[in-house]
Amino acid sequence: MRGSLLTLHRLPTGYRVLYAGILAFFLAGYGAGLVQQHLRAGLSPAGVAAWYLGNEDDPDAERLLFEKEGHEVLDAVWKRSLADVIPAIVLIALLARASAPRGVRWGLAGAIVGLAIADTVAPAAVLWSGPAMGAPALLAQVGLAAAALAAAVVCWRDIGPGRGAGPRVRRPGEEPA
Partner 1 sequence: MTQLMTYRGFALATAPASIKALVTAFVVMAALGVTVGFVNYQVRTGLTAEGSAAWYRSGVAANPEAADTDPATQEGAMPLYAKTPLEILDSTHPHLFNQAFLFFVLGHLLALCSMKARWKTATYLAGYAGVAIDVASPWLIRYAGAGFAWLQMAGHLAMAGAFLVLIVVPLWSMWRPGRRAAATAAVAALLFGAGCAAGGAGADRTGAGAPLVRVDRAWPVMGTMLQATAVAADSATAREALAAARAEVFRVDSLMSTYKPGSEVSRVNAAAGTGEWTELSPGTLEVLDAALAWNAATGRAFDPTVGPLVDAWGFHRREGRVPPESTIDSLLAITGCRRVEVERARAPYLGRGRARLPVKGMALDFGAIAKGYALDRALAAMRAAGAAGGMADLGGHVSVWGTPPDGGVGWPIGIRDPRDPEALLGTVTVESGSVATSGDYERFFVHDGVRYSHVLDPRTGWPARGTAQTTVIAPNGTDADALSTALFVLGPEKGREILARHAPEATAVWVADPGERPVEPGDVVVAGARTGRVDLSW
CB < 8 Å & 24+ apart, contacts of 16-23: 16/159, 16/165, 19/94, 19/155, 19/159, 20/156, 20/159, 20/160, 22/90, 23/94, 23/152, 23/155, 23/156
Alpha-carbon distance 150 to 73, whole Å?
29
Task: Please identify, using beta-carbon distances, which residue of 5 and 146 lies nearer to partner 1.
Answer: 5
Alpha-carbon distance 124 to 117, whole Å?
12
Task: Please identify, using beta-carbon distances, which residue of 161 and 177 lies nearer to partner 1.
Answer: 177
Candidates 90-98, 99-107, 119-127, 129-137 — which segment interacts with partner 1 by CB under 8 A? 90-98
- Single residue of 1, 6, 132, 146 touching partner 1 by CB under 8 A: 6
Helix (H, G, I), strand (E, B) or coil at 42: coil
User: Does 1 participate in binding partner 1 (rule CB under 8 A)?
Assistant: no
User: Does 146 participate in binding partner 1 (rule CB under 8 A)?
Assistant: no
Task: Please identify, using beta-carbon distances, which residue of 39 and 132 lies nearer to partner 1.
Answer: 39
User: Does 161 participate in binding partner 1 (rule CB under 8 A)?
Assistant: no
Q: Which of residues 46-65 bind partner 1 (CB under 8 A)?
A: 63-65
Alpha-carbon distance 92 to 115, whole Å?
13
User: Does 166 participate in binding partner 1 (rule CB under 8 A)?
Assistant: no
Instruction: For 122, list phi and psi in degrees, rounded to 5.
Output: -55, -45
Alpha-carbon distance 39 to 93, whole Å?
32
User: Does 106 participate in binding partner 1 (rule CB under 8 A)?
Assistant: no
Residue 72 beta carbon to partner 1: minimum distance, rounded to whole angstroms: 6
Which positions touch partner 1 (CB under 8 A)? Answer: 5-6, 12-15, 17-18, 21-22, 25-26, 28-29, 32-33, 35-36, 39-40, 63-66, 68-69, 72, 83, 86-87, 90, 93, 97, 168-171, 174, 177
